[in-house]
Every structure is written in structure tokens, then in C-alpha cells.
Amino acid sequence: MPKTERREPRGKIRGHFSKKRPASEQDVRVYLGMMNGFKKLRIPTFASAEHATEWGSHLNAEQHTLLVKEQRGLSYSAVDEPNLQLKVNLATQSQLMREAAEAFALTWAI
């Protein structure tokens, strides 16, 4: 009898990443690029909290809303990711995206 393959449903981004190799920063960039796909807001891969804060301080209200939605999605993906290194990388980017969103709130509070 042929072995049945367990396939993930189409549209699952996680299927792109190999479970047998360590996740790299390039993997995170690819993942974020796939998430950003055809959206109005291009979210960079943040290198530091300062970079995220500077970038987030220039957002308008619509861009802030999109950023918050993407940050939540990335956070949920990090929780579900079985590869520990990729989980850490995704969670780090999610946290930096949260920093960018907070910078938006601070600029509007002033």
C-alpha cells in the first residue's frame, strides 16, 4: 500500500519552512514578505527597537490599524510555530512591530 502523505491545507505559510534546518533572518524576511503580499503597508524587518520606533512614528491611522493586525497575526504564528528558532525570530519581530505601533500612539498623544 502507498503511504498517505499528510499535507497542510493550501494557504498555510508555515509549509514554506523546512522543519529540519534552523530558521534564519532570511526566513523571517521571506515570511514577512509573504504576509505583506499585496497590502497597502510594507512593513520592514526591524533591526532594533529604535528602528521600529522611528518607522512607527510616521504612520497614519489607517497604516497603524494595518500594522496592529499584522502584528497580531505574526504573534499567533509565532505561538503555533514548532521550530524553536523560527518561533523566537517571529516573536522578536512581533515585539518590534508592537514597539512601532506604540510609537504611533505616542506621537498622536503629544
- Which pLDDT belongs to residue 28? 72
Q: Does 95 have pLDDT greater than 90?
A: yes
- Which pLDDT belongs to residue 16? 45
Question: Which amino acid, one-letter code, is at 48?
Answer: S
Whether residue 46 contacts residue 93, with contact meaning beta carbons closer than 8 Å, is answered with yes
Q: What is the mean pLDDT of residues 20-40?
A: 63
Structure confidence by residue, pLDDT tens digits, 37-70: 545 678 899 999 999 999 999 998 888 999 999 9
- Domain boundaries of the chain, sorted by first residue: 23-109
CB contact set of 3 (below 8 Å; sequence gap of 6+): none
